[in-house]
Amino acid sequence: MKHPFDHEGKKIETVTFKERLKGKDLLASEAEMQARNIVNPGDATRTLYLVSRATGLEPEVLEEMDLADYLGLAEKANGFL
């Protein structure tokens, strides 16, 4: 990451990305959005939850990430689709 950041007192300097995502990861991200009552999510929200699944970081943590770093993760996640 080019721009490490703090979230709830924890410094986040690196993000580990799963090597490969599977169909179950996409389904789990959809299920999580439904559990959080997110209705008709847009592409950005779908990508956020897929990146969350791929990194193990909660969406709220990813929302605090520098946009340049986040977009790099989002591009990688979208590369699986």
* Residue range 60-81, pLDDT digits in tens: 999 999 999 999 888 887 776 6
* Sequence ranges of the domains in the chain: 5-78
Spatial CA neighbour of 80 closest among 50, 46, 38: 50
Spatial CA neighbour of 56 closest among 33, 25, 24, 30: 25
Q: Are 57 and 16 in contact (CB under 8 A)?
A: no
To the nearest whole percent, how much of the chain has pLDDT over 90? 63
Q: pTM score, two decimals?
A: 0.85
Q: What's the CA gap between 33 and 21, in Å, rounded? A: 18
21 pLDDT band, cuts 50/70/90, is confident
Spatial CA neighbour of 57 closest among 22, 20, 12, 24: 12
